[in-house]
Amino acid sequence: MIQDYLILSVILFCLGILGVISRRNVFTVFMSIELMLNAANLAFITFSRVHESMDGHVMAMMIMAVAAAEAALALAVVILLHKHKGKLDTNVFSLLKG
């Protein structure tokens, strides 16, 4: 039972990674990160249930808060990107090229 929840969390997390590394669309990448956060949340809640302690719930709330902050900033960046480059492609950021 518990393991099933955790396995689901793992699967979602891996799908999130997949989204980050295989897509170039900024929005999709961003939402994949949200997905990974959600997967983590699920694991927290599950463990919280197992241990019958509500610290996991608190943690999940914090993650939500972080996710909200992240969303605000990331979307601001996306707007800037769109404004200056007119693109939604992560490959626009290539200043790191050696």
Partner 1 sequence: MFAEVLFIAFAALSILGAIGLILFRHPMKGAMSLIVTMISLAGLYALLSAELIFVLQLIVYAGAIMSLIIFIIMFLNIQDNDLPIEEGRYLYLAGGIAVIIPIACFMIKVVKSIPAHQATIVGNGFGGVKEVGLVLFQDWLLPFEIVSLLLLVALIGAVVLAGKRRLLK
Partner 2 sequence: MEQTANYLGLIPLLPLTGALVIGLLHMLTCTKKPLPEKLYSVLACIGPLLSFFMALVVLFQLKNMAPEDRFLSHIPFTWFAVGELHVDMGFLADPLSSLMLVFVTFIGSLIHIYSIGYMAGEENYGKYFAYLNLFLGAMLILVLGNGPVVMFVGWEGVGLCSYLLISFYTKDTDNVLAGNKAFIVNRIGDLGFVLGMSFLFWAIGSTGFDFLSLRENAHLLTPGIGFAICLLLFVGACGKSAQIPLYVWLPDAMAGPTPVSALIHAATMVTAGVYMVARFSFIYSHFPSAGTIIAWVGILTALLAAIFGMFQKDIKKILAYSTVSQLGYMFAGVGVAAYSAGIFHVFTHAFFKALLFLGAGSVIYALHHQQNIWKMGGLKAKMPITYATMLIGALALSGCPPFSGFFSKDEILFMALANGHPGIWFIGVLVAGMTAYYTFRMMFLVFHGEARDKQAYDQAHEPPAVMTVPLIILAAGAALVGVFNLPGIFGGSMSVSNWLAPSLVEHHPHVSIWLEIMAIAASIAAVVIGITIAYKKFGHGAEEPEFTGFAKLGYHKFYVDEIYNAAIIQPYKAIGSLISRFFEPNVTDLHVKFSTWLYTKSGKAFKVFQVGYVRIYAIYMVIGLSVMSFFLSQSIN
First-last CA distance in the chain: 49
Residue 40 interacts with partner 1 (CB under 8 A)?
no
Nearest to partner 1 of 71, 94 (CB atom): 71
Hey, what are 55's tokens?
Answer: 């610290």
User: In whole angstroms, how close is the CB of 39 to partner 2 at the nearest point?
Assistant: 15
Using CA atoms, how far apart are residues 68 and 84, in angstroms rounded to an integer?
A: 24
Per the listing, tokens 């929840």 go with 5
Contact (Cβ atoms closer than 8 angstroms) between residue 37 and residue 63: yes
Residue 24 interacts with partner 2 (CB under 8 A)?
yes
For residue 55, the partner it binds in partner 2, partner 1, none, with Cβ less than 5 to 8 A by kind, is partner 1
Residue 3 interacts with partner 2 (CB under 8 A)?
no
Residue 38 interacts with partner 1 (CB under 8 A)?
yes
For residue 89, give the 3-state DSSP assignment: strand
For residue 40, the partner it binds in partner 1, partner 2, none, with Cβ less than 5 to 8 A by kind, is none
User: In whole angstroms, how close is the CB of 63 to partner 1 at the nearest point?
Assistant: 10
Using CA atoms, how far apart are residues 44 and 54, in angstroms rounded to an integer?
A: 10
